[in-house]
Structure 1
Amino acid sequence: MSTISSSEIARLQVCLRRLLDSKGLTVNPPPRPGLSVEIAVNGEVVGTVHRDEDEGEVSYAINLVVLEEDLPATAGK
């Protein structure tokens, strides 16, 4: 895993906003050195981004976290 530069963060934000059709999505640098880049929607952190480089190819893995308490109730409950 390698560090994500500020220019990559900006490019990822543009790409993810377009891909997910979410203007409220932001890709934020780590709050402290050594922590992960965070993805937020309307200011609420919903996941992290990790950069991987293998044989000169760069990819980004996104881990989204959805809490059970944030899920809508099912019918009949």
Structure 2
Amino acid sequence: MDKTEIKRIEAYLREKFRLPSITVTKRPQKDDSCEVNIGDEFIGVIFKDEEDGEVSYAFQMAILDIDLPE
């Protein structure tokens, strides 16, 4: 993904979640995905999928049991 594409995704997430501290950054040595952070905390990865001339993005976020409230 290029810088323009990453910035568009970041703007979308900030608006959708009403959270200006979301950042989206390029992953080292990966061209088909980027990392999503809230502040300094890594929260997930967005993967790009191109099929039949259409582009889509899948956001994958793992939630650990130890992170959930009691």
The TM-score normalised by the length of structure 2 is 0.89
Is 1:34 aligned with 2:47? no
How many residues of Structure 1 are paired with residues of Structure 2 in the alignment? 69
1:15 corresponds, among 12, 16, 40, to: 12
1:50 counterpart letter in structure 2: F
| Unaligned ranges ≥5, structure 2 | none
RMSD between superposed Cα atoms in Å: 1.3
Higher fraction of strand: 2
> What percentage of residue pairs aligned between the two structures are identical?
33
Which protein is bigger by CA-based radius of gyration?
1
> What is the match of residue 49 of structure 1?
46
Is 1:71 aligned with 2:65? no
| Unaligned ranges ≥5, structure 1 | none
